[in-house]
Amino acid sequence: MGAGRKTYGTGLLMEKKAGFGDILEEWLQNNKITDKDASVERTHIPTENKRRLLRAKPDDILDIHGLTGEKAWITLDHFFTDAKDRGCKKLRIIHGKGNKSQGKTVLGSVVRKYIEKCPFAGESGYEKSANGGTGATWVLLKN
């Protein structure tokens, strides 16, 4: 093997050391998964505007407590589409912590999966404890 070349566990011969992005891209390709964020032209939010948006109250809030996973998915789809059409920039979804669930949280998982599939859902995370903590998720919508 030539100098500077290295074979990784997948048998892939690379000229340079693989970074996380390279490993992720290979894994996505091998598992036939499309990265929804890679296919959309990224819009850059200036740092100060992003900080302001992260501190801002959400433009709309949805509470999906008590819904089944299937009904929650449909409700999320309508909520996100309507919010995008109205020009919302930040949303909050209250899904609960799953304290009454047997095993893992159902609605929290549905929300995370929906955000990953939604083409105009951008950065997201759990709310601060005063706003629901791990029982609520904030989402920034892409332009």
Beta strand 60-63 with 90-94 is parallel
Contact 94, 61 (CB under 8 A): yes
Q: How far apart are CA 113 and CA 80, in angstroms?
A: 14
> Within the chain, which residue ranges are assigned CATH 3.30.1370.110?
47-141
The tens digit of pLDDT for each residue in 53-77 reads 888 899 999 999 889 999 999 999 9
Q: Does domain 47-141 have CATH number 3.40.50.300?
A: no
The tens digit of pLDDT for each residue in 4-39 reads 554 445 555 445 556 777 777 777 778 776 666 555
